[in-house]
Amino acid sequence: MIEGVIIKKLKKNEDNRGWLAEIWRDDEINFKSQMGYVSLTKPGIIRGPHEHQKQSDCFIFLGPGNFTLHLWDRRPGSATEGEYFKESFGEDNPALVIVPPGVVHGYKNDFDKDAWCINLPDRLYKGKDKQEEIDEIRWEEKTDSPYKIE
């Protein structure tokens, strides 16, 4: 596992009505979200890899669908500097994953149906009133990127 990454497995409590899953408890994880969004990713599509210098992402992979999440630790001095992590999350393995700044991340819908991801990052996209530069290094746009998702 990569230092500073938090993975909380989520439990779907099912009954005859469907299911309910707690995705967040303030008494379990010390993290403060500043905004939230949901994205749908079509089969075979990759999002990322990219990294943030200041922002932590709080991904919730709950379904429908599944993703393969890829993480690379680029932080100098980190106990896991240079390490790579990969695991599938979503409908079949629901989880909340917090990715700290300096950890390159991306995910791919490796499965046969659309997949949803919720993100509750700890910073506002483009800052207050969308007046700041975007906090991203978009490795997927660099032809010489060492971070690849196939």
At residue 150 the predicted structure's pLDDT band, cuts being 50, 70 and 90, is confident
- In 10 A of CB 53, how many CB atoms? 9
Q: Does some domain include residue 88? A: yes
Side-chain-side CA neighbours of residue 51 (13 Å): 17
Measured between alpha carbons, how far is residue 120 from residues 2, 24, 91, 145 in Å? Answer: 20, 10, 18, 27
Containing structural domain, residue 104: 6-11+31-124+133-139
Percent of the chain with pLDDT over 70: 100
pTM of the entire predicted model: 0.94
Residue 83 lies in a domain: yes
Asked if pLDDT for residue 120 goes beyond 90, the answer is: yes
In a domain, 78, yes or no: yes
| pLDDT 10s digits, 57-110 | 999 999 999 999 999 999 999 999 999 999 999 999 999 999 999 999 999 999
Q: Note whether residue 25 is domain-resident.
A: no
Does 35 reside within a domain? yes
CATH number of domain containing 90: 2.60.120.10
What is the Cα–Cα distance from 15 to 17, expressed in whole angstroms? 5
CA distances from 102 to 22, 42, 53 (A): 28, 27, 6
**Average pLDDT over the chain, rounded to an integer:** 96
For the segment 14-42, the average pLDDT, to the nearest whole number, is 94
pLDDT score for 8: 96
Give domain status of residue 106, yes or no. yes
Of all residues in the chain, what percent carry a pLDDT higher than 90? 94
Number of domains in the chain: 1
Does residue 54 belong to any structural domain of this protein? yes
pLDDT of residue 57: 98
Cα distance between residue 150 and residue 148, in whole Å: 6
Asked, for residue 75, whether it belongs to a domain, the answer is: yes
